[in-house]
Structure formats: structure tokens, C-alpha cells
Structure 1
């Protein structure tokens, strides 16, 4: 077959690819055996070099495809589907950083030569307004995804609803586990927003690895300018082993046999990733389209959630100390009283008030007083590690202590009192209650507050020279 004459008759950028067929039906080397003028101009242009800065030189037939095109498992799967399985494939490619869209066609050629099968690859730039998502994805997939994602609209509990959505998406994909993670690149942190696991899932979750953020961000290099990364065949895993050995080791240790990952972006800003693991590889195309539609529908909802969390953080954080402020405390109390949330019993409540703050303000100025308040907050965070600490007022703090026994709670109280007994340092009056009965949150607050003020009065009786409360 005269491949050159064939591609020369095609207007869009086009080439013919040979795909080596293995005995087990898999694929081996993929080479470019012919290219039309637009493709040759693209291949020879230094701006489009696969490795930036390299000199490609003249286009030569029968080179491995990754000399001229980015090497990705997804591209190879489409070549395999088209050339060996004789299925026409159409998809869109979005170059996120430039907001460019391309029509990609893989057309099977009815010609084989020994163990070599062939397909034509056509690439055409398309305006975003002309994209018809339904042309590359069935309406059934679109409807299935829309039915579950629509739950997010108007939901009063985003976290619970997004977990419902990811559960539905996992079932649509026939996957063992499906996950949405959020990344904060400025802080170098990763958090799991939602995850769903099959009952018999044995995969080790990503959040159990100490290097989870680094592993996750390494996916970007593999995704590159494309929309996803797909790993399912032996060749794919060899590719990962070569370009990302750290992630390869994580995949092997976790028992991963297949994984497909999509980045979640909003206004070109990376928010996180969605991925399905150990999915039904007999329906890879359908699963890829399912996740593609899911990212399309949920990205704006997740962006809104992230923005609300940022606003909530500002609204609920004390700017001087970094602990929760009185807005957060009042909101927490209201939620518990109205039964929108609950604090599992037993739990402890602590009130702590700084002794001598007014004296410090009078003698050394309010900047010194602010330093004292910050020191008090840091000390409370050290004693009550990973507990909710609120700055209830100017010199007053409230702490809700969860997940400890009565003995452990009062050990912390004793430690706090011992570390804050010196009037010339951070000195606190403390009141507390341990709720292992039927006390309400308001009862706990009242009891601990009253005890704190009794202890404060006793402190100033013992140290009248410090008492400036009436001054």
C-alpha cells in the first residue's frame, strides 16, 4: 500500500502509524511510516520538539513515534485499538495551558504486513465553540454522570454529597477504588476530598504513604499537556518504571493493576485530581469518557467549595494567634445545639484566661500584650495537640478536648496548670469539665467558665499587686 500517496490526499495534519502486533494480541513498537506536508512541517519545527531545545532535523520515515510525538500510554492504547483491533477512535485533546482544542482521529487501515498493522492519525485544531462532546462520548455516559453529579447542586452537605457522587462514579467505572484529592501547591499539601472503595478492595490508600504529595504532583509531568494519564498494560507499567520510578514503586506496593487519572482544573488553575483504580479494562474507552464527563461537571462545584473553605478559614480564624476565633466557636455551639453536628462523648471542655494581661498592656504597651496572647495560644496548642482551640475573647480561650479518657484529660489539665503558674510568664486561670454523662454543650461551657472565674478571683487574691481589673 502506498501510504505516502494516501496521507498526501488528506488536508488535516496526518500520518500513518505501524503498530507491531504481539502474539498475545498486545502491541509492541509504534512507528511513523508516512506523513503529509502539514505533519512533516510540524515534526521538523523546533518549537514542537518532544524534548525542548533539541534539534530534530529532517523528518525520516519509520522512526519510533516518540521522536516526533509525546510518548503517552493513552496515545498507544488508541493506536492499538485502531490498528490492531480495527476500531475507529475519535477524541478531543485539550492543551490546558493554551486553551487549545484538537480533533484527534485514529482510522484503521485494512492492510497488514506480517505482524505489522496500520492506522492513520489525523489531528485538526478546532474552536471550543464547535466542540460537540456527544460526538466523542455516548449520550448514555453523559446522562449517567449528569444524574449523579446534579446532586451537588443546592446540596447543604457538600462533603457527604461528593462522597455519594464518587461512589456512583466508581460503580460506573467498575473500579475497586475511586478518589478525588485536592492539592495546595503554595503549601505543598494534599488532602482527600472523597473516596469510595469496593468491599473487597485491598489497595493501599494514597494517604497512607508519607510522600503522597510528591507522588501526586509527579503525575503532572506524565499528563503533560494532555487531559489524562492511563496505565493498564505491561507496556504502560514499563513506561512508568522508566519515567517515574517513585510512582512505579508505589503502584506495585499498592497492588494497582490499572489506573486512570484526570487533573481537576478551574480557570486553568490546578485544584486536584480524580482517579479510578483497578477498573474494568474491557471498557477502558467508556471509563475514560465517564471520568472526562465527571471532571467537566464537578470542577466548578469543587472550585466553589474550595473558595467557601478559604472564606470560612478567614472568617473563623483569629488573625493574631492562628487558632479558631469567636465566630467559629459560636458557629460550633449553634451546630451542636441545633443537632447539625455532634461531639462524640466523652469529651472535655476547658476555659483558660490570661492573668495579668492588663498590667502588661499598661506597663509595656499593647504590642507586648499581643505577644503574651500569642505565647498563650502556642502553649495551649502544645498541651492540647490536634484539638479545637478557640480564642473566645481578648484574653480568654476555650478548648474542646475529644478522643481521650477522663484520666488523660485531667493529666493535660495538670500539665497546663503546672506550665502556667508563674505570674511573670504566661499565667492562666483554668476551668474545666469532663463530660461523660448527659451534660449539654451549654452546660459544659457554663460549668468550666464559672470554675475558671473562681480560680481567677483566687489568683488575684494571692497576687493583688497584679490585679488591674478595676483600673
Structure 2
């Protein structure tokens, strides 16, 4: 048997020799660091400026890697693929718990040992992302990822195209299920952006699990990933590792008939915006699957983040952020649609509602109280006219457009609002309804509803003169 220390000393890069215990079952045997050169040892034992160190103990040749760091399924999979299955391995990883990235190369070694298989492990550490290393991928992965990128970049309908890409990924991985789950930890919300399910699969789409709190699951996934950018579960042995680390998730996985899984966080600008995973995949092709998913996740996260940003900008352009009602810009666009004949209707109800007492609230209690009053007012109108369109037309003025609604229903709702407005302590409106069935223009209807609203306001101040303020 060769002298492993003498062999590893010939490398000019940080290099170690790893061994993997040979077993008769599908479990990964004990992984040991048999030898390492000084460059590798010094790098692993060096404390960085943040006080972090890779090796928690001094290096002793032949010790299990778990002497130095916690159990890492990705690392074990790399070792198994290289040492046992004799496949060269290259990976570029960015562990979150360290301030550097690792570009690693592993090569199988032909050493005659009945109990162990061996491989070399060389690495480069960089404190900035190495784009060249990230793009150094196999031709198969390049083709798969390039096709996904071209589809996503040219997408007129991102949702439809993402569905196509996710189905492609499911087929590439020969998986039963592929899913993109979006999460917002601040708002405690989750949604399925896209998923693909193999026909006659024993797994169900998580769209069917509406009652489960996947936000809490997602938070636990981050803990289980422990800074890694990928988690691969190939078999029952790996599932048992998850059982120890995250028993609740383990019960969910086994209950859903998941036998294997690759899970990756979707990150953009340092924020986790969701996750992508494949379940029950072809475990004989783990290296290509991991490589494909890692790079695809990078582009998927970018496209979704841009999509969400555009959605937010669109929302800002049409929604009043304080009240949640549609804003004046949306109202003007709607009026234009009416004038152009784009809105078809049999009857039209236009309601103007002016909030009484906003100025005095702002003057006496402050603008926070005034903002709350506006939000309460919008909520009241929304509850009464939930099936109509609500706009904030101006500072304290709201507009409701009701298409093809019975006149009596609208009149009853307006009268109830008017009655409640006369009760001291209640949110008070001056309100005017104009209803037409004879094809009058939207502008005429709005003008007449506005006039009726000011008549109602005059009646309110005649009844409560102390609340009078100048109005037009």
C-alpha cells in the first residue's frame, strides 16, 4: 500500500486523502481523513477574523471527519460517489456559516484495500465568488441549465414558462415530483409558484395540503441545511439522519411517501425567497442532478425575484398603500375604459363617500390617528361593497363603482352607512349614490353622485354644527 502522507505532500494545493468504509448495504460507511498536507491542515485549523474555524479539533491522521466537523450529508455523498463509485467529483460550494467559498476537486484512487475505498480531496478557498469555478460544469448540465435559462429569459408569461421548466427539471431528475415553494418569513405566508407531478405518482402535490403551515417547515429546513446550499437525501440511511436532526419534518416526509429528496433554498440578495426540490429522484445520477439543480436554482431565484419586484411596482402603481383601496391612477384608468366603451354593463351604480372628521382628527390626535381613521373607513366600505370596485379618489374621499347590482341593495347599504354615520363615536361618512340604467356616461354618474354626497355632508353639519369645517 502506498505511503499516503508522502503522496499527499506532493500536491501544491490544499489536499487530503479520504477513505470510505466499504459496506454490503446502501449505507455510507465511516469516512476518515487518512492524511493531509500542511496547506490543508493549516487552512482547516486557522481561525478567521470572525472567530470561525473549520476543524474543531487538532488533526489526527486516520480519524473520522466527524471528529472535526458536524455530520454533513453533502460531503458524505461526494465521498461515496468518488471513492466507492469511482466518479470524479467537482463542486463549488458557498457555506453560509463561513465567509469563503470552496472550489473542490475529488479523484478516485486505486488502492488495494478490502475494507476501504479511497479518493483525493483538493480545494481552493476564495473570499469572493469565483464565477469561473461556478461555470465549470459538465456538458450535460450546461445543456440542461442553458435550455432553462433561454426559456425563462424569453418568457412573456413567466408562470406558464416556469411550469414548463419545472416539468423539464422533474424529467431530467427522473423524479416523481418537483416544486417551487415561495415563502415570506416576515409575513408568515407561503405559496406554490410552480410544481410538476409524475402521472400515477404515490406523492401528492403540496397544493393539496392547504392546512399545513409550510412556513414553519421552511424555517426548520433552513436549520437542517445548516448553511449548506443543498440537501440531498438518497435513501433510508439519509432519512434517519434527518430523523435525528428534524423529527417533525421526517414524519412529514415519510408520511408523504418520500424516499429521496434534493432540497435547495432560493436566495436573492441574501434573502431566502423560497425553496426548490425534487422528490423520489433517480439516485444513480446524483452528481448531475445536484449540479443541475444548484445552477438552475440560481437563475430561478433571480427570475422570481424580478417577477415579484415587477408585481410590487405594479401594485404601487394601482393600489393605495395606506387603505388597500385602488388609487386615483387606477380610478382614472377605469374611467377611461368606460369612456372608450371597453366596459359593458346593464346598470351602473356610482357611490361617493367622504370621510367626516379627518381634519379634526389629524389636528387634535395626530396623523397616525388620521391614518387609522382612513384605514377603518376603507375597511367599512370594503365590507359593505365587497363585490364592487373601491377607489381612494382623494385625501378623504372614496369612490365605489357597482356594475349590474340591484338598485335596492345599493340603496339599503348606503342608508345603513348613513345611519351609522350619525352615531357618535362611529366612523362617519357623507355619502351619495347615483344609479342609472339608461346608458348615461360614467362622468355624468360621478358628477351627480358627487353632488348628492355634498348634500348629505350639508345635512351632517346641520345636525352636528360643532363638527363643521369649510367645504365646497
Instruction: State the TM-score, normalizing by the size of structure 2.
Output: 0.77
Change in Cα spacing, 1:102 to 1:443, as seen in structure 2 (3 Å) is: farther
The residue aligned with 2:24 is: 23
Output the CA distance in 2 between the equivalents of 1:249 and 1:446. 61
> What aligned pairs does 1:4-403 form with structure 2 within 5 A after superposition?
4-45=5-46, 56-95=56-95, 100-125=100-125, 128=129, 131-133=132-134, 135-138=136-139, 140-153=140-153, 155-201=155-201, 202-205=203-206, 208=210, 210-329=212-331, 351=351, 353-354=353-354, 356=356, 372-381=373-382, 389-397=390-398
Kept in 2, the 8 Å contact 1:88–1:108? The answer is yes
Kept in 2, the 8 Å contact 1:17–1:118? The answer is yes
Q: Secondary structure at the match of 1:190?
A: strand
Output the CA distance in 1 between the equivalents of 2:461 and 2:340. 43
Change in Cα spacing, 1:88 to 1:369, as seen in structure 2 (3 Å) is: closer
Displacement of 1:98 in angstroms is 6.8
Change in Cα spacing, 1:123 to 1:54, as seen in structure 2 (3 Å) is: closer
Q: Any unmatched runs of 5+ in structure 2?
A: none
Displacement of 1:205 in angstroms is 0.9
> Which is worse superposed, 248-257 or 228-237?
248-257
Displacement of 1:450 in angstroms is 8.8
Change in Cα spacing, 1:77 to 1:71, as seen in structure 2 (3 Å) is: same
Output the CA distance in 2 between the equivalents of 1:386 and 1:3. 76
Q: Secondary structure at the match of 1:284?
A: helix
Displacement of 1:351 in angstroms is 4.2
Alignment coverage as a number of residue pairs: 457
Q: Secondary structure at the match of 1:27?
A: coil
Displacement of 1:90 in angstroms is 1.6
Change in Cα spacing, 1:386 to 1:90, as seen in structure 2 (3 Å) is: farther
C-alpha deviations, 1:233-288, integer Å up to 9, x for none?
22211111112223223222333222212222334443332222222223222222
Output the CA distance in 1 between the equivalents of 2:337 and 2:143. 36
Q: Secondary structure at the match of 1:219?
A: helix
Kept in 2, the 8 Å contact 1:431–1:450? The answer is no
Change in Cα spacing, 1:273 to 1:355, as seen in structure 2 (3 Å) is: closer
Output the CA distance in 2 between the equivalents of 1:176 and 1:470. 66
Output the CA distance in 2 between the equivalents of 1:276 and 1:168. 12
Output the CA distance in 2 between the equivalents of 1:90 and 1:338. 61
Change in Cα spacing, 1:10 to 1:369, as seen in structure 2 (3 Å) is: closer
Kept in 1, the 8 Å contact 2:180–2:275? The answer is yes
C-alpha deviations, 1:36-87, integer Å up to 9, x for none?
22233244445599x9689944322332212224522221111111121122
C-alpha deviations, 1:185-237, integer Å up to 9, x for none?
44444343333333434335176354312221332333344321111222211
User: RMSD between aligned alpha carbons?
Assistant: 4.7
Displacement of 1:11 in angstroms is 2.4
Change in Cα spacing, 1:335 to 1:157, as seen in structure 2 (3 Å) is: farther
